[in-house]
Amino acid sequence: MKNISNRQPSRIVNDPIGNEDARETLRELIKTNGDDYKGISELIGRNPSYIQQYIERGTPKILAEKDRIILARYYSVNQKILGAPAEAIANQGLEIISKLSVGVSAGAGNLDQMESLAGKIAFDPKWLRQFPYDKKLLSIVSVEGDSMMPTLSNGDDIMIARYDGQRRKDGIYILRMDDSLMVKRLFFGPKDRIDVISDNPSYSDWRDVDGDSITIIGHVIWIGRKIA
């Protein structure tokens, strides 16, 4: 691709700090590598004049993250010089899993809450591949109570894979029963019968429960906790 513009960048009024530098950096990368605005716009899946408008007119003010990632890889540069915020640099190459503000009871059970976002946690994608689940099905919630001691403690963060109705193997699950959201160990029996077990022997179990009376929310696949 050949460079199609040698014009100097226009002055942008009220330009956020760093954005003008990012535009000038991209201009120089394009020129140095013998590319052109049209070709680079097409590279990131945009209309032919997109990059020229970004560099010359400041529209948009900042590159979208997906565009920035493609350009950084194409030119083998750090996203930072293309205007990436510090958070994007810190999370580069990591998978982000949402932490929900809902707590799941390991005691008598608590009412389901709105699943609003409480935060995000980054994981190495290679580490996540040990779990046979689409990353879109994964989320993190907190344990409340001690009925699953010693396996789960109050305050533990647990990663769950949304239940897809396909995998029915014994394990620890988030479930809704009698309008309560809880974490329990499930043993699947014949004819859709299920044993609902508390690991803490001080708490009651429910044996031979009709599967239709339980809504399985997700399978617990990882536990994270503070040790001090």
Q: Output the pLDDT for position 74.
A: 87
pLDDT-derived band at 15 (thresholds 50, 70, 90) equals very low
Residue 179 lies in a domain: yes
Average pLDDT estimate for 178-207: 92
In a domain, 113, yes or no: yes
pTM of the model: 0.58
Residues 121 and 71 in one domain: no
Report how far residue 93's alpha carbon sits from residue 122's, in angstroms, rounded to the nearest whole number: 9
Residue 13 inside a domain? The answer is no
Neighbours of 156 (CB within 10 A): 19
| Of the residues 85, 109, 134, the one at which a domain ends | 85
Q: Give the residue with greater pLDDT, 111 vs 31.
A: 31
**Higher-confidence residue: 116 or 56?**
56
Cβ atoms of 181 and 145 closer than 8 Å = no
Does 11 score more than 80 pLDDT? no
Q: Residue 124 has what pLDDT? A: 82
pLDDT band at 187 (very low <50, low <70, confident <90, very high): very high
For every residue of the chain, DSSP letters joined together read: ------PPPPPPTTPPTTHHHHHHHHHHHHHHTT--HHHHHHHTT--TTHHHHHHHH--SSS--HHHHHHHHHHHT--GGGGT--HHHHHTTT-EEEEEEEEEEESSS-B------EEEEEEE-HHHHTTS-S-GGGEEEEEEESSTTTTTS-TT-EEEEEE--SS---SEEEEEEETTEEEEEEEEE-GGGEEEEE-SSTTS--EEEEEGGG-EEEEEEEEEE----
Q: Is residue 10 part of a domain?
A: no
At 61-75, the pLDDT tens digits run 889 888 888 898 888
Looking at the structure, do residues 99 and 212 belong to the same domain, yes or no? yes
Structure confidence by residue, pLDDT tens digits, 119-178? 777 788 888 989 988 888 898 988 989 999 999 999 899 999 988 776 678 999 999 888
Same domain (yes/no): 104, 199: yes
How many domains is the chain built from?
2
Shared domain for 149 and 170, answered yes or no, is: yes
107 shares a domain with 215: yes
- What is the reported pLDDT for 206? 94
Task: Return the bridge partners of 121, or none.
Answer: 97
Read off the pLDDT of residues 203-225 as tens digits, 9 standing for 90 and up. 999 999 999 999 998 999 999 88
Both 49 and 160 in one domain: the answer is no
- The CATH number of residue 73's host domain is 1.10.260.40
- On whether the CB atoms of residues 222 and 152 are closer than 8 A, the answer is no
Domain membership of residue 153 as a residue range? 95-224
